[in-house]
Amino acid sequence: MAVDSGHSVVKAVDAERVHGRGRRTGKPSENPGRLRRALTTYWYAWAMVAPVVVVIGVIIGYPLLRGVYLSTTDANEANVERTIGVNHIPATYESVGLDNYKAILDDGVFWDRLSWTVVWTVSCVALSFVLGLALANMLNRKLKGRSFYRMALILPWAVPAFVSVFTWRLLFNEKSGVLNKILAGGGIDAVPWLNDPTWAKISVITVNVWLGVPFMLVAMLGGLQSIPGELYEAAEMDGANAWQRFRHITLPGLRSVSSTVVLISAIWTFNMFPVIFLLTRGGPGDATEILVTYAYRLSFVVSPRDFAGSAAWGVLILLLLTLFAVVYRRALRKQGEVW
């Protein structure tokens, strides 16, 4: 019986190998592709996502493609399709290839706007991050009235941006603003907050930081609460001081959160149209004008309105942000962060 069992085991193994080879060399239809398996397994999830994808494609995809197309033409207010009364005037603009992009890159206006936009973005994001992290550390401790302080610091985020900007505009008023009245009470001359190029830049950065700190505060506070308290207790028992605990526990623990919020905040700030436009309208002169406000000016303010040039500026802004996101993500992956 032992001999028979051995032969049966050998035959079973041989049959399994032959069967396995047969399955590997089967028809392609027996081994569906990755996409087909995903659709078959997660069909319900795909069905739920499909309406959102369609809506986003209509709302964002079509205008984006239309803007890219217009950026390769000479479309302006005088040659686009329009209706005046009962008269319908067809479009007469023509394709010019990449001439709009060449004209923008050869113009010093683009590089001036880009340099100030970079300074504006870096300053706002850095100050918002530092202040948000400092306030989050303070509010992560047990203190009396902590809930009230949290609500008070999040309040600027709840107020609509245009309301906050108009309020700050009243505060910055050179003649009747509260800030200059306080300075006058101390014997200091009035500061031209919005009428001097340097002070105007400081003013718009201040307002945007005030609006951005609550977002950083909420994100950092959530990250701090996710760090195990046992790490701080162990470090304190080992003799680590407050700075050492912050450097070796808090900052590494917040790395994943901070990397994400910095990217999001940088993209938001780079395109922060309301603060610049409502507070200074790009002035005085063009001192505080960033890329997105200049693109708006070309399309809605100057006459004749330059739709092609505005679209080209928009495409360049998109390319710059995409390049920044790719470089930023690669830098994070080199540091071990994967998202």
DSSP secondary structure string for all residues of 138-192: HHTS--TTHHHHHHHHHHHHHS-HHHHHHHHHHHT-TTT-HHHHHHHHTT-PPP-
Question: Crossing angle, helix 197-225 and helix 161-171, to 10 degrees?
Answer: 130
Nearest to residue 110, comparing CAs of 314, 269, 300, 299? Answer: 314
Q: Which residues pair with 73 in a beta bridge?
A: 95
Per-run averaged pLDDT (10 residues), the chain, 339 residues: 44 45 45 72 84 88 91 91 84 91 93 95 96 90 78 80 90 89 89 93 94 91 89 89 90 89 92 92 91 93 90 95 90 69
User: Coil, strand or helix: which one is 84?
Assistant: strand
pTM comes to 0.81
User: Coil, strand or helix: which one is 34?
Assistant: helix
How many residues comprise the chain? 339
The whole-number pLDDT of residue 2 equals 43
Nearest to residue 120, comparing CAs of 206, 46, 38? Answer: 206
The whole-number pLDDT of residue 31 equals 53
Contact 262, 125 (CB under 8 A): yes
Q: What is the DSSP string of 79-144?
A: TS-EEETTEEE-----B-TTHHHHHHHHSHHHHHHHHHHHHHHHHHHHHHHHHHHHHHHHHTS--T
User: Coil, strand or helix: which one is 33?
Assistant: coil
Q: Which residues pair with 88 in a beta bridge?
A: 83
Contact 127, 209 (CB under 8 A): yes
Contact 114, 324 (CB under 8 A): no
The whole-number pLDDT of residue 339 equals 53
The whole-number pLDDT of residue 97 equals 92
The whole-number pLDDT of residue 13 equals 43
Q: Which residues pair with 95 in a beta bridge?
A: 73
Contact 265, 212 (CB under 8 A): yes
Q: How far apart are CA 92 and CA 164, in angstroms?
A: 43
Measured in degrees and rounded to the nearest 5, phi and psi for residue 83 equal: -125, 125
